[in-house]
Structure formats: C-alpha cells, structure tokens
A and B are shown apart, each in its own frame.
Chain A
C-alpha cells in the first residue's frame, strides 16, 4: 500500500521502502536531522502503538516538565497522543536535551539544553494531529508549519458557507466551480490544511494572518507556457508587507486516510532548486519506515 499521493505537479520519486529496526535497549541513533534543503515529515498511527512498556519508555524520554505536561491531560487518548508527539521528536534528537516552549503567540518551539561547547542546530518543527494520526514536520533553518486532517472528515456546516466565511473570494470562486460535492468537500479540506500550515509556519497565530486575508493560488509560477509544473503562491490581499511570498508548499496523503499540508520558508533552498520532502512512518524507538521521498518543484 502506498500511503501517499501528490496532487500538485510534483516530481515524485518513490525512493526507499527499506525499514530500519531499532533495538529498544540500544542507544538512540545519532541526530538524523534534515539538510537545509530537506523537509522531513514523520507520522505515527497511535492505534498501532499499544505496548505499555513502550509507552513507559516514551515517558522516560521526556524532561520532567514535559512529563508533567503530558500527565496534566485528562483524557487517556489525549494523554497518549501528547506522549507520542513528544516521543516522536525526542526520539529524533538526544533524549532529555530538549524542552518545548511557546513563542509569544503560543507556537511550540524547541528549546535546547546545551553546553558551551555544543551549538545546537536551528531545528524547527511543527506538530499536527487527528485522533488517528500524529505528524511532525522538521527542518533545519526554516520555519515550518504542517496540518493534517482526515480525508473522510465531514463538515457540520454547509461547505460553501464555510468557505465564504473563512476563505478569500478567489478561493471561494474556485471551490464553487467544482460540481461534484464530494470533490468540493475534499478540496475545501485540502485548502484548509494548506492555509493552516502556512499560518502555523508564520507562527503568529490564527489572528496574525486571518484566512480570508490571503489566497493560496494554484497557478503556474513559470511564465513558460510549456511548463507543466504548477506551484502554490500566496497572494496577500492586504498588508503585503506582513505576508511573504517566500514559502514552499507540499500536499500529500498519509496512510491513505489523511491529507497533510506542509509549508516552509524558502531559506536554504536556492532559487529554482527543488525542496526535498521525505516522509517516514514511525513507531518511536522501534522502527521507522521511509514512505517516500519527493522532490517538489517551485
């Protein structure tokens, strides 16, 4: 089962399906951070993680403050997901050396505990989850935002009313033109994930960039009429100085059940060079499974 597909014109390279198994008793593998040109997307399916002893190992990965935070969740499912999300990140970096803090707008960030002779890499991450999937995007040197939603998710409100309330006019026009209601629903959800990923990457909170103040346009960035590739660009409707057009997007499907959108700043990727997105499914400390490597084209 290939748990992904790309809707944009992306050059897809199905690279590795090799699995790496870890002994739970072995040392954690060294940092496997992305290069500046790469974006890593990890995901966990919580329903597949059942072992109590494994969950205990995850708790051991956490700093005391993070342990407290996880324990403060009241519902079991939420507690488990909070733990898994932290284990996902902590299993990628040295244990207990990181804590999570929030920026001025509430966006979680990594706070390294480091010594004088070690300069930690400028690691950026963003988490998103549904009840059945937890995903984490990681970059080095560029802010990143991700969002995941279940493909089958139904909207309680009328789809177009929702779009009119939250999206820009151009986006509503595009969505209104879709005749099949099911496709329309899917496109609304996918657009939501893209916009949410962008706002999360900005890190200024929902109010910092209200959804109807910018359009995500699917269009050709390349004036060459023969170019088949299209890209997503941000078209700010107001405050063009606030919003930047310096962002890369990717949209993928995960595990056949979720739409995921990833947004990162261009930094580190030279003009015209592809951004590489590596998607891995994981059970922290147990295994990881490289699902795909995707070269996205600007």
Chain B
C-alpha cells in the first residue's frame, strides 16, 4: 500500500478514475480498492472535505512559529500544535501575532489574538482577515 503523508486535502466531487486528486500534502492516502475503508476523514460519499485554511498559510504559520520559538526546521509543528505546548509564553505569542500581521498584511484585534492558541487557529483567522480585507479593498 503506497501511503503518502499529506497535510490538508481538498477533495472535490470530480473524481477521476477512482483516484482522489490531492492538491497538497497531508493525509494518509490509501489507493484504490481500499478507498471505502481507508479515509478516516470522509464524512459523506461525496468525498468533500473543506479545510478551513490553505496549506500554504498553515505552512507559513509553522515557519513563523518555529523562528519565534527558535525550533529547528525539522522539528514537529503540526496544525493542532498548541503554542504553549511548544514552549511559547505570552510574549512569544504576541510576537508571533505581530509577525503574522506583517507577513499577511492584516490587523488582529486583541480579542481575536487571545483565541489563537494553535497553528490552525492562527491560519484560519489569517484567511478570514485576508478575505475580509480583500472584500473591502
């Protein structure tokens, strides 16, 4: 079984030849013939999964977090990694927020920033703010 580690998969209903078209890399993909058993994340037969944030965003957030916390490039920072579990204190968290603001050109209000506790939450909020910014632009 060829299993490929993947991050955030956007699956659409257009399936070609029983093969899931993966856009980016993060789930375990089990090849054809075992599809009906192999996807823990599938919720419906339409094979539609919406990921809240683009993988590029998640990756960028991971990079910023690793830099802030002085973690090595190959250290494990997953989307659901809590900043505090990675060793971040309050000053690290606000520095991360500030770097994200500069990187993505957004402004994070304090009541939002205290809800950012994981990489995924940060990425989701970033995309929400970027979308809002593009709407009003």
Contacts and interface: CB of A to CB of B under 8 A. Distances in A.
Interface of A: 73-75, 77-78, 129-131, 147, 149, 153, 155-157, 161-162, 165-166, 189, 192, 196, 205-207, 210-211
Interface in B77-95: 84-85, 87, 89-91, 94-95
Interface stretch (B32-40, B109-117, B121-129): B109-117
Contacts, number: 46
B91 A192 contact: yes
Given A205-B114, A206-B90, A207-B110, A156 B95 contact: yes
B89 A162 contact: no
B67 interface: yes
Contacts of A156: 67-68, 95, 99
B69 to A, nearest CB: 9
Contacts of A157: 95, 98-99
A73 B111 CA distance: 26
A162 B111 CA distance: 18
A73 B95 contact: no
Contacts of B113: 206-207
A130 B89 contact: yes
A211 B99 CA distance: 17
Contacts of B99: 156-157
A153 B91 contact: yes
Contacts of B109: 207
A149 to B, nearest CB: 6
30 contacts: A74-B85, A77-B87, A78-B85, A78-B87, A129-B89, A147-B90, A149-B89, A153-B91, A155-B95, A156-B67, A156-B68, A156-B99, A157-B95, A157-B98, A162-B95, A165-B98, A165-B101, A166-B94, A166-B98, A189-B91, A192-B91, A196-B90, A205-B114, A206-B110, A207-B109, A207-B110, A207-B111, A207-B114, A210-B110, A211-B110
Contacts of A153: 91
Contacts of B90: 147, 196, 206
B81 to A, nearest CB: 10
A163 to B, nearest CB: 11
B114 A131 contact: no
A131 B86 CA distance: 11
Contact of A75 (B67, B68, B85, B91): B85
Given A78-B84, A192-B91, 10 more contacts: A155-B95, A156-B95, A161-B98, A162-B95, A165-B101, A166-B98, A206-B90, A207-B110, A207-B111, A211-B110
Interface of B: 67-68, 84-85, 87, 89-91, 94-95, 98-99, 101, 109-111, 113-114
A206 B114 contact: yes
**Nearest 10 interchain pairs by C-beta:** A207-B111, A210-B110, A206-B114, A207-B110, A207-B114, A156-B68, A165-B98, A156-B95, A157-B98, A157-B95
Contacts of B94: 166
A79 B95 CA distance: 24
A73 B85 CA distance: 8
B87 A131 contact: yes
A75 B111 CA distance: 28
Nearest to A77: B87
Nearest to B115: A207
Nearest to A149: B91
Contacts of A75: 85, 87
Contacts of A166: 94, 98
B1 to A, nearest CB: 29
B89 to A, nearest CB: 7
Nearest to B87: A131
Contacts of B85: 73-75, 78
A87 to B, nearest CB: 20
B82 to A, nearest CB: 9
A178 B30 CA distance: 61
A77 B87 CA distance: 9
